[in-house]
Structure 1
């Protein structure tokens, strides 16, 4: 945290008004480290006419949102991350990440499934996204632009979230190559179709296998596949995604 022109290591605690029916935000405590170790300051909401929901009210608004509630029922081994308060464009927003645990190669990893954002001034406006930027723009109506590498990462995350380890072989071969999907992901308008194709591939061809293979035959394009032996013939089922 920068105070004046000096950076400081701090701890932060959001606080609500005691016994407040609306669980409104009272302010936040800042506990300093380093040369100011032991100093604690309270930054309070400036006046009685300025009201913001507190962190517990933000969590309730998030959990009871119809879309969020539906998404949460689809996730196993989920947990919420820290409730974060940010000032963006002279407005306050709460960000709440949702994490899932996936077992890959006998190791348990924690990944963020999505993140939610709540307007602290109303508590009624809620949106979600793959990251904080997408959630914020979904709430405010702006457009989040992501690059090619982020698009590829977003696709590969679907496999990881379904417990599939991604292996990049030096060479891959099969007696028969069968491409079961071919999609383009260059804009956000393409995402729903891409996600649908990937999830269908996992359900039909990769579910329960534990791993999939990733390789590329040209720049800006990725193939994901599985090898299956059928009556002595090795078949390679795969999908192709153009992301750049």
Structure 2
């Protein structure tokens, strides 16, 4: 099924990347995210429910130490955008949609307003921007299909979806370059796993190769 709105309509249909942006900006989800301790966000699915176009997004608890990730909550995010995002959270799709309807009707007061200068970037744009940060520093980028190093260390994680995220991303990568790349090498390795771009540098310590890398969630 295809979804469309007239080009001159005041209401726009937001895409998958903007949906994640809306979810991250929601105050209730921000609190829940802290409680769930770095949850994993599942794929979003767009449904037409009555007269509403809504994205449903499963949010999983972070599995660790052999513990299987479990469903923490479900988010319902309105696809129609007119300056405000409406996000409902619930244990089931029905409950999440009910909370979403309360936001739309004004029964629940918490909505999320987009910045006036909000600009959504497509995935290729985001990756090219990331590459340009390294190229400006005269750092060579190699893109293997996978990395297999005995010792690996994740030095940080961040997400990059919109222009609003760009300053934090630039600072994040600049610090990584200064702390881990420039002191030892002029080359980094870049590989992608499940919509997460990993960038690392390899060096040998005490006879063992180590890779120190950062992860940037760039979406689909």
Q: TM-score range by the shorter chain?
A: 0.3 to 0.5
Higher share of residues assigned helix: 2
Structure with more relative contact order (C-alpha pairs < 8 Å, separation 6 or more) = 2
TM-score normalised by the chain length of structure 1? 0.40
TM-score normalised by the chain length of structure 2? 0.44
